[in-house]
């Protein structure tokens, strides 16, 4: 049974390195602006510079999603092909229109999740701009530089935590790097597993067996070694979607699944 991470780690690392570079550039622009936070024109230029960086980020996201996700999906197909070959099944399938469409949908879903990063950064930059602009006005009224305290607070936060504020579906907060890695790992795992599942169903096989390993977490432990129905059409087995809903294949999950043949219950063509 293939280890999903073996195919996806290179793609994940490529995206994470790109994001690390983007974060360094954004932090550099922010810190420069915070040192000159009483100059409105400098703050406005900071906003424009970061907007340009975010546009590059979006373009990089699109490139990564359209390249990496289909590649990992294809590895999922190959994984299923190897399982079927080992089971003595003669294959008559390639990377047809159905698989192309599935890979495109997965790539678009990944892009939308990464788009959240650009939106969060954009909101944070706007918050910094508005608060410093307000402090500049307040300082003019009261007669001293209140903006310096605000700028110092932001600099300390950025130095300690980097760019933060990314929330996943469970409400957990992440910084920019860890959130990006989590999204990349989740979406590549999904692409690989979906490619495997789609190929198996395409060839008339609906059952898979979940892998096992030591140290499985509480979410995954109940599902280790379980037989699942991919489509839900094979009665007597829990479905793949039920297992996912219960927490199997969470971010950074090490589990995969392999072909399982029950001659009495397999779907017939």
pLDDT of residue 39: 72
Q: Cα torsion at 225, 227, 228, 233 (round to 10°)?
A: 180
Can you give the pTM of this predicted structure? 0.83
Of residues 118, 122, 112, the one with CA closest to residue 18: 118
Structural tokens at position 15: 């995206």
Per-residue pLDDT of the chain (269 residues; tens, 9 = 90+): 555 556 578 889 999 999 999 988 988 888 887 777 667 777 788 889 989 999 999 999 999 999 999 999 999 999 999 999 998 887 777 778 889 999 999 999 999 999 988 888 888 888 877 777 776 666 554 444 566 777 777 777 776 667 766 666 677 777 888 889 989 999 999 999 999 999 999 999 999 999 999 999 999 999 999 999 999 999 999 999 999 999 999 887 889 999 998 766 554 54
pLDDT of residue 28: 87
């Amino acid at each position: 049974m293939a280890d999903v991470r073996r195919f996806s780690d290179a793609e994940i690392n490529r995206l994470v390195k790109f994001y690390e570079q983007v974060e360094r550039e954004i932090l550099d622009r922010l810190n420069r602006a915070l040192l000159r936070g009483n100059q409105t024109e400098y703050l406005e230029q900071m906003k424009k510079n970061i907007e340009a960086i975010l546009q590059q980020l979006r373009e990089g996201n699109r490139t990564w999603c359209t390249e990496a996700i289909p590649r990992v999906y294809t590895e999922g197909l190959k994984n299923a092909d190897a399982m079927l070959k080992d089971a003595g099944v003669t294959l008559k399938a390639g990377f047809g229109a159905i698989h192309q469409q599935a890979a495109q949908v997965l790539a678009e879903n990944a892009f939308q999740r990464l788009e959240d990063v650009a939106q969060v950064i954009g909101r944070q930059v706007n918050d910094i701009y508005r608060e410093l602009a307000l402090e500049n006005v307040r300082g003019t009224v009261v007669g001293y530089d209140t903006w310096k305290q605000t700028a110092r607070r932001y600099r300390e936060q950025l130095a300690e935590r980097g760019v933060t504020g990314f929330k996943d579906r469970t409400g957990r907060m992440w910084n920019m790097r860890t959130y990006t890695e989590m999204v990349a790992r989740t979406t590549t795992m999904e692409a690989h597993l979906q490619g495997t599942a789609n190929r198996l169903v395409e060839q008339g096989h609906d059952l898979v067996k979940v892998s096992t390993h030591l140290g499985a977490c509480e979410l995954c432990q109940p599902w280790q070694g379980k037989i699942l129905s991919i489509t839900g059409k094979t009665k007597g087995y829990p479905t793949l979607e039920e297992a996912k809903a219960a927490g199997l294949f969470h971010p950074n999950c090490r589990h995969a699944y392999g072909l399982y043949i029950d001659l009495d219950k397999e779907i017939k063509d």
